[in-house]
Structure 1
Amino acid sequence: MPEDEAIQFVVLHLDGVAYDRWHHGLVTQNHGLIHSYREFIERLISRFDLKDVELYYKELALLRQTGYVETYINEFQHIVVMVPKMQDRCVVMLFIEGLHDRLRGLVKALKPKTLHEAIQTTLDLDTSPPPTSYQSNRKFSGGSKPFQRFSTKHKSTPPPPRMD
């Protein structure tokens, strides 16, 4: 989808105070002359966000992967859009530094140049099992350990008597 169309699509979904402020800005701040998504994000943040950009930067710098990599990626992407003028190499560096130790070195060694490359590399290298909410309540019959009744071990015979 072209950026102009994407911007129009997002603006169509504004409502309430956001709708009023944005459309007032069409006249007073030339919002209608925005043609890039990056500029759109910058204007949107400056118009509606009251939090200081430095606080978002600090959040990015402190963000660490403590669970599934997908969760970390989502949190990082949510915060990074709030710091629109950050250079790509800085974004990539912050992303990599927040990864779990086992992934950090691997991703860093491949030297991704964009956040997209860093995320894709991370997902490709991640070997953790996918999150699941399934828990088995199945009880195994035939013993206290799973597959105990299928044991291939035979009954042991006593050792021969010692001849001293």
Structure 2
Amino acid sequence: MNEFFTNYGLIILLVVLLIFMFWSSRRRMAKQKLEQEQRARQTVPGAEVLLQGGLYGTIVSYDPENLDQPAVVEIAPGVDIKVHSQAILRVVEPSDAPLTEDDFEPEASAPVVAPVDDFPTDDGARVTDDKSDAADPDAEPGTKPQA
């Protein structure tokens, strides 16, 4: 028995490896074909898509039967481009509610803070923030210059 594996073990291992590679390749191809068919069903005129290059657009024309024919995608109003059908990465699902300008307005309850010209210190004195501190380089920061 030991002599059998010594003589034929490597051949058996190679055959098992080839069978596994063939099986996994077929399985991967079937999965890709299923995904491609599903994408073709979703890719209809009017659907928003993401292209391989990162561009978003809307399908104008697409022939799922002939994948060699280019698809026409509108990337801006009046701007149509022809792309290979495999350049369509995926169909983008629309969001539940489109954002409007009102979504970006500040809330009415948010307090509006005006800039402050002077700051209280720990000892209760007020220090003004004027730019005349630079006139005297020996003066302490945050104090008013002496007249």
Q: Which TM class, normalised by the smaller chain length?
A: under 0.3
**Looking at CA atoms only, which structure, 1 or 2, has the larger radius of gyration?**
2
> What is the TM-score of this pair, normalised by structure 2?
0.25
Q: Which has the higher strand share?
A: 2
Higher relative contact order (CA 8 A, sep 6+): 1
> What is the TM-score of this pair, normalised by structure 1?
0.23
Q: Which has the higher helix share?
A: 1
